[in-house]
Amino acid sequence: MWNTFENKIAWFQMKGGFKMNLLKDTVKSISPIDVHWYSIAQKRLDNLTKPPGSLGRLEEFAKRFVAITGISMPSLDKKVIFTFAGDHGVAEEGVSAYPREVTGQMVLNFLNGGAGINVLARHAGAEVVVVDIGVDHDFNSVDKLISKKIMKGTKNMRRGPAMTRDEAEKCIEAGIELANEYAERGYRIFATGDMGIANTTPSSAIAAVFTGRPVSEVTGRGTGIGDDALRNKIKVIEDALSANRPDPFDPVDVLSKVGGAEIGGIAGLIIGASAKRIPVVIDGFISTAGALIASSLEPKTKDYMFAAHNSVEVGHKAMLDKMGLRPILDLDLRLGEGTGAALAILMIDAGLKIYTEMATFGEAGVSEGIRE
C-alpha cells in the first residue's frame, strides 16, 4: 500500500510529516538508472582484449559505475570517505566493551591521521571527511572537523525514543547537505563510515525491524563483548523495540526511536548521492543500517550503492540480503570507520581502469575469438 513515493509522503505527513523540504525534495528527485548505459558499457567490455566476462566482478563494477553516472568513459580522480560520528545513550546499558568517551577521542585520532581509516584511505587515494553529527563532546573549532552536530548523543533507547522525529530528519538532511556540497566540488565517488561507541546496538535494532528477524539473529559482539554482555545486549534491544514500537513502514520513525545520529547522516548521504547520480560505497554493519533507512525511504537508492564487504557482525548479511546487495569483499572485517569501503574503492577503481585503459581488439590489432 505504501510502496510508491506519493503514498509514502502521505504516510509520513500522517505520522507528523517532513518538517523541512530538503528531505522530501531530494527523495523525489532521485531518478531510476537508465538501463541503456549498461548496454553501452557492456559493448565496450566485450570488445576489450580478453575473453568476454573473464575479469568477473571487475567488469560488473565498471558497468555499474558507467550506468550510475551516465558517463561513457568516467574517471575516478576524486574520492571521499565520510566518517560520521555520534554517541549513544544506550551505552549506559553496558552493551559495548569501550566507554562512551572513546567516540570523541577517536574523532581526534581520525583528524590526526592515525586511525585505520586514514591508513586505508591513503592507500585508496581517498580523502577522509570526519563529521561530528552527534558526539557528546565540545570540539570547539578543531581544524578539519566538519560540524553538523544535531545533538550531544542520543537518549537511551531502552527507556524511550533515541531522538525526536525532528532530530532524525535533521540528521538525514545533514547527510544530504554534505552530498550536495561534495558533488559541487567534483567528487566522483562517496563512501560511508562511522564512529560511535555502542552503535552496533541501534544497528541491530534497525536490522530486526526491517528484516523481521529475531533480535538474537541480528545481534553480534560489536567491539568484542563476552557472552554475558551479548545476552544483555540482546535483552536491551528487545526492551527498546517493545518500549518504542518502531514502525517498519515509516523509516524516519524507526530512525528516531531506535537509531543514531551517524546512521541518519549516512542515510542522508546515500539519498543525496543518489539524487546527484554519484556512486556511494557502503561500509559495514552501521553504514548498512543507514542504507536500510535510505532504501526504505526510496528503493531506487539501492541501485546507486556498492556494498563494500560482508562484516562478521551476524546481522550484516541479513541487511544486505534485504536490499539485494552483493558485497565486494569478505575479509572478516568489523572495525567500521569506512575501512571496508576504502578497500572496496580499490576494486571499483581497478574495474574502471580496465574499462577505460585496456585496449580493444581493434586498437591492439588482435584477432577476436569466435562468438556464438
Q: How far, CA to CA in Å, does 249 sit from each of 29, 71, 97, 170? A: 21, 35, 33, 19
Q: What is the pLDDT of residue 1?
A: 43
CA-nearest of 275, 313, 308, 309 to 294 is: 275
Q: Confirm if 252 and 12 have CB atoms less than 8 A apart.
A: yes
* Segment 101-150, tens digit of pLDDT: 999 999 999 999 999 999 999 999 999 999 999 999 999 888 999 999 99
Options 60, 167, 173, 337, the catalytic residue? 337
Please report whether residue 331 resides in a domain. yes
Residue 111's domain comprises 76-345
CA 296 to chain centre: 13
Q: Is the pTM of this model over 0.85?
A: yes
| CATH number for the domain harbouring residue 324 | 3.40.50.10210
- Answer whether residue 196 shows pLDDT above 80: yes
Determine whether 337 is an active site residue.
Answer: yes
Please report whether residue 81 resides in a domain. yes
Q: Per DSSP, what are the bridge partners of residue 134?
A: 86
- Helices and strands (DSSP H and E) totals, the chain: 15, 6
Please report whether residue 119 resides in a domain. yes
- Answer whether residue 86 shows pLDDT above 80: yes
Tell me the one-letter amino acid at 230.
Answer: L
* Segment 16-56, tens digit of pLDDT: 444 459 999 999 999 999 999 999 999 999 999 999 999 99
Please report whether residue 144 resides in a domain. yes
Helix (H, G, I), strand (E, B) or coil at 71: coil
Q: How far, CA to CA in Å, does 368 sit from each of 47, 48, 178? A: 8, 9, 46
* Residue in this structure with the C-alpha cell 541479513, named with its chain if needed: 318
Q: What is the pLDDT of residue 19?
A: 46
Please report whether residue 350 resides in a domain. no
Query: Which residues are within 8 A (CB) of 71 and not within 5 positions of it... i.e. 6 or more apart?
Result: none
Q: What is the mean pLDDT of residues 201-212?
A: 98
Please report whether residue 368 resides in a domain. no
- Rounded distance between C-alpha atoms, residue 213 and residue 216, angstroms: 8
Calculate the average pLDDT of the chain: 94
Please report whether residue 354 resides in a domain. no
Please report whether residue 287 resides in a domain. yes
- Rounded distance between C-alpha atoms, residue 71 and residue 357, angstroms: 15
Structural domain count of the chain: 1
Q: What is the pLDDT of residue 54?
A: 97
- Rounded distance between C-alpha atoms, residue 118 and residue 114, angstroms: 6
